[in-house]
Chains A and B, each alone.
Chain A
Amino acid sequence: MSLDKLFGVLVMGGALLAVGGCSDEDRDDGQGPLTGAPDAAPGSADATPSPGDGGELAPCFCNVDACCERDESGAGTLQPGFECCWSTTCP
């Protein structure tokens, strides 16, 4: 990556955090997810990621959630059934 691409990678990539992929209704107001479900909303830190049903990919914070696994070289790989949201990547 070069300096020329930083605007797209940082500014536009960051903007996707605000609009893309996962639920926008996960305010950390101490009242849990607004969906009414007893468990944390998909993609939140409290969620235990699980592959989506019916062929849908489960959204995941790939940099903090347990949806990535490491191979022998130490590289992180996204597990089947998940998608990385908000521009996160497997460490």
Chain B
Amino acid sequence: MLLVDHVPLRLARVWLHREKVEHEAAAQFHRLGGEMRAAGLPRRIIDLADAAAADEAEHAILCRRVVDHLAPGLAPLVPDPVGPLGPVGLSAGRRALYASVALACVTETFSTALLLEMQRLATDPLVGATVHRILRDEINHSRLGWGHLAWAVEREDVSWLALFLVGMVHALIRSDLPPASYDDETAPADQPGEGQGVLSAARIRDVATRAFEDVIAPGLARYGIVARSGA
């Protein structure tokens, strides 16, 4: 009985964390749009970054609705401050490209893959509608990074990004993936939650691995970016 009572709160806390991550993503895409302007990117790509910032802010509102649906009254978490991504000393163009690859090619591609799985498993109508809406936007957010990369590779060698690929993935695993699952790794595998958009840790590992091996790694390799051992 105690477990049943705690389940909605545990699920709501996952969505609560997603609400925070969405706010942070909005700030990151807003920053990316500014970096793209500084780097003189085509307006069509900048527009997509600006649109992504607005989308992410909307996603935070959608996540809040799910939080209130599952466990009303949980106070929002305070988003972490957003700073420039990547190592110091990058040119404006490389700074923007690093951020696009980290945010869009890596993070948004992982997110799209996870949302596809959440959509497949969702049974709660509000959760299903929310996941569907966010998924639609995340596809465009991911494309913006791949589009930026395709545009950049026509103008310069982008293989320098290979040095940072492992770090990008590790940062994602540390910051963004945990909120997608139960925070308690000891939770039983058949614990309810996937119908409410909260995947098991094992399923997340499986989907994330497939996303990296089938999409991100070959996508980056297409542009000469191959993860280097020990990077």
Contact = CB atoms under 8 A, between A and B. Distances in A.
B215 A27 contact: no
Interface in A3-36: 3-4, 6-7, 9-11, 13-19, 22, 24, 26-29
B40 interface: yes
Interface residues of B, number: 40
B143 A87 contact: yes
Interface string A23-61: 010111100000000000101111000000000000001
B6 interface: no
Contacts of A2: 116
A82 interface: no
B143 A28 contact: no
A82 to B, nearest CB: 15
A7 B214 contact: yes
Given A3-B113, A3-B207, A10-B112, A17 B150 contact: yes
B44 interface: yes
Nearest to A1: B116
Main secondary structure of the interface of A (DSSP, over half): loop
B114 to A, nearest CB: 10
Contacts of A77: none
A88 interface: yes
Nearest to A26: B43
Contact of A44 (B44, B139, B143): B44
B103 to A, nearest CB: 13
A24 B45 CA distance: 10
Nearest to A14: B146
B222 interface: yes
A61 B47 contact: yes
B147 interface: yes
A17 B147 contact: yes
Given A10-B139, A13-B143, A22 B222 contact: no
Contact of B147 (A9, A15, A44): A15
16 contacts: A2-B116, A6-B214, A7-B219, A10-B142, A10-B146, A10-B215, A11-B219, A14-B145, A14-B149, A17-B143, A27-B41, A28-B41, A28-B46, A63-B140, A64-B50, A91-B136
Given A10-B143, A18-B147, 8 more contacts: A2-B116, A6-B113, A6-B211, A11-B219, A17-B148, A28-B40, A85-B44, A91-B136
